[in-house]
């Protein structure tokens, strides 16, 4: 860990100005991923701008088309967001996704924005002695032909085959959340579906954010599908493990016919994967296990696998069916 200058930001605008003006500056919030990376030697900023004490810790309702939305400050801790009564009632997939991630201690520490911006846990990205295009562009991808059990099955490129690790991001992607971003040229909104990138030939870039952009809030719009939503995660350990695959799903039913459906997948791609083809196939159909399996199959056309990660295809298909049929039956899914 190289020597660091540390500045506690007075307000969001000055934080943005400080980081924008210094290519080797980084924001520090909960620190659960950044401090990890500092120690591993996979990032070496010269300046840390601490935004953890900025007053971005409110959860507020706002008027939105079709009801009341929720604006979540970037510094709201994962545990507080998961326990927030409005989230539990109207966006249960968000609460479930948070509770399926990390540990109680880490959820107290990790922030909403930081969760979305956490980086891959690919073992080669985290091992500075091995080639990795995401960590060091142009060095090659060690996960191709190496430890591939967690590798992506959708949207991978020859340069990077890893997956995005966040659970929260999957739920937010399914429920059409958007992030509020403060940059040098002011505030803008980015839909969650457009925040994270596929790797292409620039796997070093996880998101579309510019250097110095600060996520200040996340906005959760209301919907019937969000109210009837869940998050289903398959993993090795029963707790405290990253997803093998995960599904965020929301349903609006008219009898047993799908009026609206939201599906996003985790653990399968370099970004949370909104399964729009599957959603389109399900809308207007009767919600049956077979229908969901077929819709998922459609979404999985073009999936690429190796011996080590081929299991993800049946696993994500089945987990999608499980999440949707349980939602339809009014059963708890976890």
**Is 233 within 8 Å of 96 (Cβ atoms)?**
no
Q: Which is nearer to other proteins, 58 or 89 (CB)?
A: 89
Q: Which is nearer to other proteins, 101 or 178 (CB)?
A: 101
| Cα 166 to Cα 158: distance, rounded to the nearest angstrom | 22
Q: Which is nearer to other proteins, 179 or 214 (CB)?
A: 214
Among 13, 17, 83, 198, binds other proteins (CB under 8 A): 83
Kindly state the helix (H) or strand (E) to which residue 132 belongs, with its residue range: none
**Per the structure block, which two tokens stand in for 188?**
């803008």
Q: State the minimum distance, in angstroms, from the CB of residue 101 to other proteins.
A: 9
**Per the structure block, which two tokens stand in for 97?**
């996704």
> Is 290 one of the binding residues for other proteins (CB under 8 A)?
no
How many chain residues are in contact with other proteins, going by CB under 8 A?
68
For strand 273-274 and strand 67-73, is the pairing parallel, antiparallel, or unpaired?
unpaired
Burial class (CB in 10 A: 0-12, 13-18, 19+), 136: middle
Q: Which is nearer to other proteins, 2 or 66 (CB)?
A: 2
**Is 112 within 8 Å of 82 (Cβ atoms)?**
no
Contacts of 176 (CB under 8 A, 6+ apart): 191, 192, 193, 221, 223, 262
Q: State the minimum distance, in angstroms, from the CB of residue 31 to other proteins.
A: 6
Annotate each residue in 225-264 with x if it binds other proteins (CB under 8 A) or - if it does not, as one string: ---------xxxxxxxxx-x--------------------
What single string gives the DSSP state of each residue in 259-279? EEEEEEEESSSSS-EE-HHHH
Q: Which is nearer to other proteins, 29 or 180 (CB)?
A: 29
> Is 49 one of the binding residues for other proteins (CB under 8 A)?
no
Region of 63-71, 83-91, 218-226, 294-302 interacting with other proteins (CB under 8 A): 83-91
| Cα 138 to Cα 284: distance, rounded to the nearest angstrom | 47
Q: Which is nearer to other proteins, 1 or 208 (CB)?
A: 1
> Is 89 one of the binding residues for other proteins (CB under 8 A)?
yes
> Is 125 one of the binding residues for other proteins (CB under 8 A)?
no
> Is 55 one of the binding residues for other proteins (CB under 8 A)?
no
Cα dihedral sign, 157-158-159-164 = positive
- The half-sphere exposure of 271 on its side-chain side, counting CA atoms within 13 A, is 23
Q: Which is nearer to other proteins, 116 or 179 (CB)?
A: 116
**Cα 279 → chain centroid:** 19
Which chain residues interact with other proteins by CB under 8 A? 1-6, 8, 28, 31-32, 35-36, 38-41, 48, 50, 52, 79, 82-83, 85, 88-89, 92, 95-96, 99-100, 102-106, 108-109, 121, 123-124, 126-127, 129-130, 142, 145-147, 149, 234-242, 244, 311, 314-315, 318-319, 321-322, 332, 334
């Amino acid at each position: 860990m190289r020597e660091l200058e540390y500045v506690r930001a007075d307000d969001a605008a000055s934080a943005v100005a400080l980081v924008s003006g210094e290519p080797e500056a980084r924001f520090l919030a909960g620190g659960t991923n950044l401090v990890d990376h500092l120690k591993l030697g996979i990032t070496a900023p010269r300046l840390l701008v601490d935004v953890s004490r900025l007053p971005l810790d409110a959860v507020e309702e706002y008027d939105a088309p079709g009801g009341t939305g929720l604006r979540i400050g970037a510094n709201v801790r994962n545990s507080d967001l998961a326990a927030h009564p409005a989230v539990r009632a109207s966006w249960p997939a968000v609460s479930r996704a948070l509770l399926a991630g990390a540990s109680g201690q880490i959820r107290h520490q990790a922030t909403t924005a930081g969760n979305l911006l956490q980086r891959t846990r690919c073992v080669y990205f985290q091992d500075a002695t091995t080639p990795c295009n995401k960590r060091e562009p142009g060095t090659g991808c060690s996960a191709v032909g190496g430890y591939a059990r967690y590798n992506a099955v959708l949207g991978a490129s020859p340069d990077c085959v890893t997956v995005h690790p966040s659970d929260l991001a999957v739920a937010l992607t399914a429920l059409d959340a958007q992030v509020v971003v403060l940059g040098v040229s002011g505030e803008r909104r980015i839909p969650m579906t457009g925040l994270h990138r596929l790797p292409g030939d620039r796997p070093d870039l996880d998101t579309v954010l510019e250097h110095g952009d600060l996520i200040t809030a996340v906005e959760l719009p209301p919907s019937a599908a969000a109210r009837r939503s869940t998050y289903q995660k398959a993993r090795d350990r029963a707790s405290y493990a990253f997803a093998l695959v995960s599904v965020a799903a929301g349903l609006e039913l008219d009898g047993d016919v799908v009026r609206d459906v939201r599906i996003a997948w985790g653990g399968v791609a370099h970004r949370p994967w909104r399964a729009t083809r599957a959603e389109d196939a399900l809308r207007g159909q009767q919600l049956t296990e077979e229908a969901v399996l077929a819709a998922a199959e459609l979404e999985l056309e073009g999936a690429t696998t190796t011996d080590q990660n081929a299991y993800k295809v049946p696993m994500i298909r089945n987990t999608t069916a499980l999440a949707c049929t349980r939602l339809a039956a009014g059963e708890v899914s976890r």
